[in-house]
Structure 1
Amino acid sequence: MTTCAQQLIQLLDAYGVDTAFGIPGVHTIELYRELADSPLQHYTPRHEQGAGFMADGYARSSGRPAACFIITGPGMTNIATAMGQALADSIPMLVISSVNARHQLGLGHGHLHEMPSQQQTLAGVSRFSHTLLDADNLAEVMGQAFAVLRGARPGPVHIEIPLDVMAAEVSSKAAPRIAAFHPPGPAPAAIRQAQQWLNEASRPLLLIGGGAVAAPEAVQSLVERLDAPVLTTINARGILGNSHPLDLGANASHSACRELIRDADVVLALGTELGETDYDLVFDDGFHVEGKLVRVDIDARQLARNHAADLAIVSDIGLAATALAEQVTAQQRHGRQRSDAVREVMALEQDPDLAQYVPLFDTFDEILPEAIIVGDSTGPVYAGNMIARRNAPRRWFNAATGFGTLGYALPAALGAAIAQPQSPVVALVGDGGLQFVLGELGTARDLGRPLALVIWNNDGYDEIRRYMSADGVAHLGVNLKAPNFTAVAEGFGCRHIDVGTPSQLASALKQLHDSDNVLVIEVDAARWQASLDPVRCSQPNTLSSEQKRNP
């Protein structure tokens, strides 16, 4: 006899899923019956939202989906925020949940964990959501789920299994077929048209998004053949390395970059939704493409959103970039000079409103050049989205834009540490956002791997304070008193170091690998500010978020 739960574990292994995050509950015991003897590694967070963020960080850092095992009702509403963040950023995640027995669904009898329609609630934060009503259909439904995860625009997929189906016997004794999904390639006619326009262009420009991170070599080859300036999104950080002369970073909202975009005769957008949080962070509708716009995306519907394309190509980015790089004529288009001119106008590292954060990222580069840096919604992360450098993709990601949730960085960093145990990992958080997920320090302790948790302590929700100041609103609800992080760290068995200068931060980071434990580094933002050159650095808390993102 093979139960539905047994076959589920077998199918996960067959599809190459080796990691699961979840909190056992009375409605998932049948899953856990099979899990102990399976090859899957299971990690227990302190909250289901943490499970989702851990799976998110695992996927962003590795490109591979992890599974989440989540109980009915509150477990699913808890993970919904993490699913929303993953949906906004096209991050693959497989959420397996229980749900009440089939004969109880939709009746409102008040059974344990009952919701009016759990599947309908979670469908809004999923690319695919399905209620399995027959154990014999599990293999087909899993196939549909992995078709989304591997052959289409990724994101969370959700399969809920009623309690009676979970324990039911699967009648078929034959091993299910496991399809090898390959994403679509570009239409030859579309490549020929794009090639013609790009070959004729004298001022081409590339916009590169997170959909391209799996193909850095193909993208870099195309960029260099075109000799064109490049603007990346935050999720594409590092795709050209950390110092490529054509890379202008995630600064498409800057006035100098907007002028460059308007001046381009052909704009090639690869794997980017052209959304507000990457291209209009000043919220003034000032992002415009006046030349020919060629868009490439794996999602056909996305090609019709936000900015209409003159040529829309449905394709995997790596396949399209490779095809274009083979066809486009290499010629001098003055890309280096155009990029240098914009870089000189932006002068980001000399801007007084960003200057206090420059030593922070210089220190990361010096001490942990290979680190994966995972950020929350906090001042240094907003600044880092403009000025931080990474030498490869998948080493800078955060929740500061897109869905914009708080409490992301610590559990997502834990997921990254599991997926990439050979890489140092830094979670960069604010004191306010960290308090959303303090319990996950217990998960970090249990994990037993070195991870740097860098807390930017500015006494509350400083980003919101700035908005309030800019709008003339009294500071209500934002001046939070932080806990004693030394005591908190000690309570979870973690090391704690208090720092106030770049040299102290460097010294602390050098201690990361002294033990297999979390290193909590608390940066006193006021002391940090006072230690820097007052001529270069403005006073803290005087700059609105809009101004900061568009100097």
Structure 2
Amino acid sequence: MSSATSSDTHNTASPSCAQVLMHLLKGYGVDTVFGIPGVHTIELYRGLPGSGLTHITPRHEQGAAFMADGYARASGKPGVCFLITGPGVTNAATAMAQAFSDSIPMLVISAVNRREDLGSGRGRLHELPRQQDVTRGFCVWQHALTSAEQLPETLARAFQVMHAPRPGPVHIEIPIDLFPTPMANGATTLADYRAVLPAALPAAPAETIANAARLLAEAEKPVILLGGGAQEAGAAATALAEKIAAPVFESLAAKGIVDERHPLCGGANLSFSNVRERVENADLVLAVATELAETDRNLVRDNYHFKGKLIRVDLDPAQLVCNANPDLAICADARTTLQQLVDALASVDKKSQRQSAAEEVEKLLQECRSEWWPGSEDRYPWVEALRDALPENGIFVTDSTQLAYNTNHALRLFEPRSHITCTTGYGTLGFALPAAIGAALASPRPVVGLIGDGGIMFTLGELAAAVEQNLALPILVWNNSGYGEIRDFMDEAAVEQEGVNLHAPDFVTLARAFGAEGCRVERPEQLGEAIADAFARKGPTLIEITAPE
């Protein structure tokens, strides 16, 4: 009976809710969705063939959301997940929370039990009472459809919310009885349903720009701080830094926004004492799209104590007073605001001071390196080998692992959206492998992933998805026989090591069992050839690095 009803519904003149969903997703610029079909989403998937959307099947819903995260960071577009009711949502929760922490736009469309069963506690399959309560703490917006006709407006709202002012995961749950339901709003073809263009991001008022430009022109020792919300502002930030002869420092989420070869770019080194001192003693700090949080400073807990003036730029008004009160707050788009400032300072060019500022940055970086090296001397040859092997336009995806904490600072990157990391913020493990897959699917740029032997065990199954997609993707596994960073912290705290020394499988053999290639390198000079070979083949390559003891 139910099968016949479903077939009859599918053949109706009006398109179904699932068909309209796929059509509108395509209209909003979505080309790839990540998900694992389940018994509750069969009718959702009826709308997929012919929609123009590519479906990627991970091996775990957490992997689906991590892939969507990597896709979003590499492309700048929302990553999209399809999840089943109950366990699909709970499995993806950690990855959604990571995206929330880092303000990554992610659209999660999940099933939920039939409308007649909601809140009934009848023991239905995959029943999760109050499913939206599970995701409420790490979503920027949620909505539960109660009729198919709500779908167009719901999607329009979702894409507006993910566009500004502070993106993050959006969760839309659709009762399983609505997927095959024909739309009853009078529209009879898919062409009747159109996407809504996102709102233009706000620019700052002319008077505010004039005040900020005056302060920047008068400053003798300015500094520019960039956060992850400034991904599209690299060219304007560089031009402004040159105009006012200001060093530029980036959060880890902002790494690469300004080319780290530029003489005024101090990279993602805000955790080091000399850089902190320079920032705090600046007579003017321009902080753009950054929370000024401990995660922006790479876990240095104490807030900055600004001795000079502070100008903050952010689309989210709440962030303008987060962790430090500004002398001038500008609630506007980062790229637009920085370009407005460049234009307002057209007659200003502190060219004579630029060389001394560049020399100051180089001195600061040399001093940072003296803090990088102690205890990490044996890891920096690997960082240098990785920089030589990574293409200039490469995307580098990292997990929470020892070598990544060194590359955060010492590996120079040259383009926006080059650094995808979970090492701060929510700081989950298992991120890098699926996120690298998502990034490789989103961008034609070469992608390299770095993950530890402990972290990859969280999401190892996603190698199979990379094999299915024939991704030329090198995945570096830093094998230090356990949770090396936690071992170090235990030793530092004089806590006896427990739970951190792990048995690891033969990763090379495992990779080959998945249909990937695998190899092992023991010296930094072997890394370049291994990565070049990985880029030259079809399919992923797991490159196990034997960490120095």
Interval of TM-score (by shorter of Structure 1 and Structure 2):
over 0.9
Give 2:271's aligned residue: 253
1:167 to 176, 180, 202: 180
Match for residue 241 of structure 2? 223
Distance 1:356 1:223 in 2: 35
Q: Deviations over 1:481-540 (max 9, x none)?
A: 1111122112101111111101111221221133201111111112xxxxxxxxxxxxx5
**Cα distance in 1 between the residues matched to 2:372 and 2:178:** 62
Displacement of 1:251: 1.3
How far 1:390 sits from its partner (Å)? Answer: 1.1
| Counterpart in the other structure of 1:548 | none
Q: Read off the aligned partner of 1:147 and give its amino acid letter.
A: Q
Residues 1:520 and 2:542 aligned together: yes
**Cα shift at 1:352:** 3.5
Aligned amino acid, residue 250 of structure 1: A
Q: How does 1:461-500 map to 2 (within 5 A)?
A: 461-500=483-522
- Tell me, in whole angstroms, the C-alpha distance in 1 between the residues paired with 2:405 and 2:121: 45
List aligned pairs for 1:182-261, cutoff 5 A.
182-261=200-279
Cα pair distance change 1:390/1:448, threshold 3 Å: same
Q: 1:384 aligned to 386, 397, 407, which one?
A: 407
Instruction: Please state how far the C-alpha of 1:353 moved relative to its aligned partner.
Output: 3.0
- Unaligned stretches of 5+ in structure 1? 527-539, 541-551
Q: CA deviation at 1:90?
A: 1.0
Deviation, 1:206, is 0.6
Partner of 1:312: 329
Amino acid at match of 2:410: I
Aligned mate of 1:134, from 123, 139, 147? 147
Q: Is the contact made by 2:252 and 2:298 (CA closer than 8 Å) also made in structure 1? A: no
How many pairs were matched up?
A: 525
Q: Deviations for 1:217-246, whole angstroms, at most 9, x for unmatched residues?
A: 122111211210111011111112131111
Equivalent-residue separation in structure 2 for 1:282 and 1:16 (angstroms): 39
Residues in 2 aligned to 1:129 and 1:372: alpha-carbon distance in whole angstroms:
31
Partner residue, 1:326 = 343
Are 1:44 and 2:50 an aligned pair?
no
The Cα shift of 1:179 comes to 2.4
- Distance between the aligned counterparts of 1:161 and 1:187, measured in 2? 41
Q: How far apart, CA to CA, are the structure 2 residues paired with 1:163 and 1:405?
A: 31
Choose from 278, 290, 302 the match for 1:272. Answer: 290
Question: Which residue identity lines up with residue 2 of structure 1 in the other structure?
Answer: P
User: In the alignment, is the contact (CA less than 8 A) between 1:74 and 1:113 conserved in 2?
Assistant: yes
Q: Give the whole-Å Cα distance in 2 for the aligned partners of 1:256 and 1:342.
A: 7
Q: Greater shift after overlay, 396-405 or 349-358?
A: 349-358
The whole-number CA distance in structure 2 between the counterparts of 1:127 and 1:50 is: 21
Extract unaligned runs of 5+ from structure 2: 1-13
Matches of 1:24 and 1:86 in 2, distance apart? Answer: 22
Q: Percent of aligned positions with the same letter in both sequences?
A: 46
Q: Does 1:502 align with 2:524?
A: yes
More deviation in 396-405 or 187-196?
187-196
Say if 1:258 and 1:288, in contact at 8 Å, map to a contact too. Answer: no
* Aligned 8 A contact 1:461 1:478 in 2: yes
Segment drifting more, 184-193 vs 517-526: 184-193
Secondary structure of the corresponding residue to residue 223 of structure 1 = helix
Measured in 1, the distance between the counterparts of 2:526 and 2:292 equals 40
- 2:381 matched to 1:362? no
Structure 1 window deviating more from structure 2 (511-520 vs 77-86): it is: 511-520
| Cα distance in 1, alignment partners of residues 176 and 445 from structure 2 | 40
Q: Distance in 2 between matches of 1:257 and 1:387?
A: 14
Between 166-175 and 448-457, report the one with greater CA deviation: 166-175
Question: Which amino acid counterpart does residue 451 of structure 1 have in structure 2?
Answer: L
2:466 equivalent to 1:448: no
Q: CA deviation at 1:408?
A: 0.2
Q: What is the rounded CA distance, in whole Å, between the counterparts of 1:275 and 1:67 in structure 2?
A: 28
1:109 and 1:252 map into 2 onto residues whose CA distance is 54
1:151 and 2:170 correspond: no
Query: SS at 1:27's partner residue?
Result: helix
> Which AA in structure 2 matches 1:121?
V
Q: Is the 8 A contact 1:349 1:358 kept in 2?
A: no
Specify whether residues 387 and 349 from structure 1 end up closer, same or farther in structure 2 by C-alpha distance, changes over 3 A only: farther
1:268 & 1:356 partners in 2: Cα distance?
A: 36
- TM-score normalized by the length of structure 1: 0.92
Query: Which stretch of the first structure deviates more once superposed, 399-408 or 150-159?
Result: 150-159
Kept in 2: contact 1:452–1:521 (CA 8 A): yes
Alpha-carbon separation, structure 2, partners of 1:218 and 1:341: 25
Query: Cα offset for 1:349?
Result: 8.5
| CA drift at 1:280 | 5.8
| Contact 1:209-1:272 within 8 A present in 2 as well | yes
Query: Would you say the 8 A contact 1:348–1:354 is kept in 2?
Result: no
Q: CA–CA distance in 2 between the matches of 1:403 and 1:382?
A: 15
What SS does structure 2 have at the residue aligned with 1:106? coil
Question: Is 1:288 aligned with 2:311?
Answer: no
Task: Tell me the distance in 2 between the aligned counterparts of 1:183 and 1:497.
Answer: 47
Q: For 1:249-307, what per-residue CA distance to the aligned partner results, in whole angstroms no more than 9, with x for missing partners? A: 11112110111012101100111111111226233x15322211111111111112221
Counterparts of 1:71 and 1:320, CA distance in 2: 42
Partner Cα distance (2:164, 2:518) in 1: 44
Residue in 2 that maps onto 1:534: none
Distance 1:275 1:231 in 2: 14
Aligned equivalents of 1:300, 1:465: Cα separation in 2? 40
The equivalent residue for 1:180 is: 197
Aligned to 1:547: none
Q: Secondary structure at the match of 1:277?
A: coil
User: Structure 2 CA distance, aligned partners of 1:32 and 1:88?
Assistant: 30
Alpha-carbon distance in structure 2 between the residues aligned to 1:425 and 1:340: 29
Q: Is 1:83 equivalent to 2:96 in the alignment?
A: yes
Alignment partner, residue 67 of structure 1: 80
Name the amino acid aligned to 1:178.
A
Letter in 2 for 1:416: A
Are the aligned partners of 1:63 and 1:214 in contact in 2 as well (CA < 8 Å)? no
Shift of 1:341: 3.1
Amino acid aligned to 1:141:
T
Q: Secondary structure at the match of 1:278?
A: coil
SS of residue matched to 1:130: strand
TM-score, reference length from structure 2: 0.93
Cα pair 1:349 1:387 within 8 Å, conserved:
no
Instruction: Report Cα offsets for 1:109-156 as digits up to 9, x if no partner.
Output: 221111121112112111111111121111111111011122322111
2:318 is equivalent to residue 301 of structure 1? yes
CA distance in 1, matches of 2:403, 2:287: 28
Partner in structure 2 of residue 543 of structure 1: none
Deviation at 1:215, TM superposition (A): 2.4
Is 1:220–1:240's contact at 8 Å kept on the other side of the alignment? yes
Instruction: Indicate the RMSD between aligned Cα atoms, in angstroms.
Output: 1.5
2:68 alignment partner, SS class: helix
Q: Is the 8 A contact 2:293 2:303 kept in 1?
A: no
